[in-house]
Structures are given as structure tokens and as C-alpha cells.
Structure 1
Amino acid sequence: MKKALNIIFIVVGVLVLALFGVRYYTKSHSPFEKLTAKGSRDLKVELGYCRPLMKGRKIFGELIPYNTVWRTGANEATTISFSRTCSFGKRKVKDGKYSLWTVPGERYWTIILNTETGQWGTNYDESKDYLRFKIEAEKTVEPTEQLTIKLNQVADNGIDMTLNWENTQLNIPIR
């Protein structure tokens, strides 16, 4: 009996180490970045995401199909948190932490805030959506090699979130 328990503990230990190894390996190809920005009236926005590279691939419409939910990054789902109730893309959002998902389209994208956080991969549950809205995607002249999300403070003390990858740019105001 004692020998069986020791074997079980060893197997569980090896599996846990393997899980951490896989996560470390995948993040080495799509590094994690955490952003923070402050706006007016004690608004603080934090965003965490993993940054995949194009590596010569066609991204939108092929690697990431149009009209399909995407985790908006690599590895675990991208997260965004708001310190107070604010507007996100002109929609009211309560303070809290959300996962950020998108549905890329050729001209318009659907932006999704979901109440479930911490998912690895594409474990998306539509029933936990908090907010959805469409936004027009802009085409850029120069391609962006690595997925880049920025939180930029603007003159009216708000924050603009921009997403750039391949030849696509999204701009989402946070006020």
C-alpha cells in the first residue's frame, strides 16, 4: 500500500512539472505582457496577454478564421480589469476582471468581455459573456509582426486601447 501511494505521488509530481514545463515553453514563443494605465476619476485599467508572432503566416482569415471567437492573444485568455465602472467602447462596464475575446471580421470585429477568467487555450463559454459590441477594424499600411496591445492615456484623461497585428488595427475608447 505504501509503495502504491509513493508511485501515485511521483506520477502526480511528474504531471504537475510537465504542465508547468509546457506552459513555460509556449510562453517562450508568445511572451506575456502586463499593461497598466490610469485615467480620470481613479480609473485604472490592467491588461494581461501573450504576444504571438506572424512568422510569415497569414493571420486574419487563415490562422485565425473570420467570424470565429478568438482569445485575442496566445496561451491563456487575455484579461482586462477596470478599477471602477466606466465605458468600454461606449458601453457601460462595471468594475472587475474579465477575459477579452474577439470575433475578427474583414471590416468589423465583435469585442467580447466574458466574466470567466483563467482559461487556458480556447475554453470559451458564451453563456458567461458580460458584453458584446461591434467595432470597425482599420487597415494599416505596414504590417505589425507581433500582436501588440497598448493602453494610451488621452487628453481628456481617458484611455484608448489599441490592438495591432498583421495589417489590422482596432481602437477602443475607455472612459
Structure 2
Amino acid sequence: MKNSLVIIAFVLFAWVGASAQGFRNVDKSPMDAAYFPDNFAHDRKGDEKALVRILYSRPAKNGREIFGKLIPYGQVWRTGANENTEITFYQDATLQGKKIKAGTYSLFTIPNENEWVVILNKDLNYWGAYQYKEANDVARFTVSPKKSDTVIENFSIQFPKGTNALLRMGWDTTVIELPIQF
């Protein structure tokens, strides 16, 4: 009994102590990173370098209807949550025949039922898509969405393992893919 009280007191002290120090709770849509090659962040070997890095926030489905409802069709979406998603190319790349210079870009999308537009934009460090300006687009790419066999609870961006750079984004039952060549 005495040990239980000590443990409860310790947990309460730790919880109150963190709050008293001014740290906020964990974000509902935590930030994450995707790399190509996919294993770069965890399995770096020697002088291996990443070719692409994407920084984004991962909202959860939480039982909501996502595309066409929470994320309206036909409107620019920040492609994640919180700040707009950023993609960094560490060397020049080609996407759908369009040359993209090495650098960092905002990554926006316009979801639709049968077609998505993926947008690289030169504006950085904005919250959401509220200040998005089409005039600052670097390139746009059209892709066809696919249905996932299972529900993807948290919005996810990944480059599948392998030698080809295939940018995959998925949430709920929707997946889009955009090949990148170097």
C-alpha cells in the first residue's frame, strides 16, 4: 500500500512538474519526416546522402470522412496539418518530365475524386494553405488516386524501399504516387 502511494505521488509530481515548467502537451498532428532513400534517417552509412527530405505533420482520421468532406475536393490543401509541408531536393530532379532545381519548396495538393494536382511552390514557412499564391508555383503535376486495401489512420508520406524514388502519400483509403528521377 505504501509503495502504491509513493508511485502515485511520483506520477502526480512528474505530471504537475512538466506542466509547471510550461511544456505543452503532444501535438494532435505530430511532425514527421520522410526521406529518399527511405532508410536514410535510420540506417545512414558512411557518406551516404539523402536525395529528398519531406517535413510534414500527420493528422489522424479519428472516424471522420476525409476527402470530399474534411478536405474538400477542388481546393488547395496544405498536404498534412499545421504548417505547410516542405520538400527539399538535395540535387536537381525530374518529375513528370519537368526539371526541378535543388532546393526547398512547399508541397500542396488539390484533391479530387478522380485526379489530384501536386504542387511545388516557392513560398515557405506558412501555416496551412491560407496564404497560398498560385503565382508562386514552381510546378504542378497531375496524378490519379488509388484506393488502399486498408484504412490509413494517420496521413503518411513515404518513399518505399528500393532504388526508385516513388513519393507515396496516403490517408483514409486514398493513396497517390509521384515518381521522381535523379
TM-score band by shorter chain is 0.7 to 0.9
For structure 1, which runs of at least 5 residues remain unmatched after alignment? 1-20
Find the partner of 1:107 among 106, 114, 121. 114
Q: In 2, are the aligned partners of 1:82 and 1:97 still within 8 Å (CA)?
A: yes
Q: Measure the CA separation in 2 of the matches of 1:145 and 1:43.
A: 27
Q: Measure the CA separation in 1 of the matches of 2:157 and 2:97.
A: 19
Within-5 A mapping of 1:3-82: 28-38=27-37, 44-82=51-89
Q: CA deviation at 1:43?
A: 6.3
Question: 1:146 is matched with which residue?
Answer: 154
Q: In 2, are the aligned partners of 1:51 and 1:147 still within 8 Å (CA)?
A: yes
Question: 1:121 is matched with which residue?
Answer: 128
Code of the aligned partner of 2:73? Y
Question: 2:139 is matched with which residue?
Answer: 131
For structure 2, which runs of at least 5 residues remain unmatched after alignment? 1-21, 39-48
Normalised TM-score (structure 2): 0.76
Question: 1:174 is matched with which residue?
Answer: 180
Q: CA deviation at 1:35?
A: 2.1
Q: In 1, are the aligned partners of 2:37 and 2:159 still within 8 Å (CA)?
A: no
Paired residues in the alignment total 149
SS of equivalent to 2:159: strand
| Change in CA separation of 1:127 and 1:168 when aligned onto 2, cut-off 3 Å | same
The structure with the largest alpha-carbon Rg is 2
Root-mean-square deviation (CA, aligned residues, Å) is: 2.1
Q: CA deviation at 1:166?
A: 0.7
Q: CA deviation at 1:49?
A: 0.1
1:79-127 Cα deviation digits (max 9, x unpaired): 0011111112442211110000000000110010001111112221111
Q: CA deviation at 1:153?
A: 4.1
Following TM superposition, the consecutive aligned residue runs of length 4 or more in structure 1 with deviations greater than 2 angstroms are: 88-91
Q: Measure the CA separation in 1 of the matches of 2:150 and 2:160.
A: 20
Code of the aligned partner of 2:149? V
Q: Which has the higher strand share?
A: 1
Higher mean alpha-carbon deviation, 131-140 vs 68-77, is at 131-140
Q: Measure the CA separation in 1 of the matches of 2:92 and 2:71.
A: 32
Find the partner of 1:160 among 166, 169, 173. 166
Counterpart check, 1:83 vs 2:90: yes
Q: Measure the CA separation in 2 of the matches of 1:150 and 1:133.
A: 18
Give identity over the alignment, percent.
36
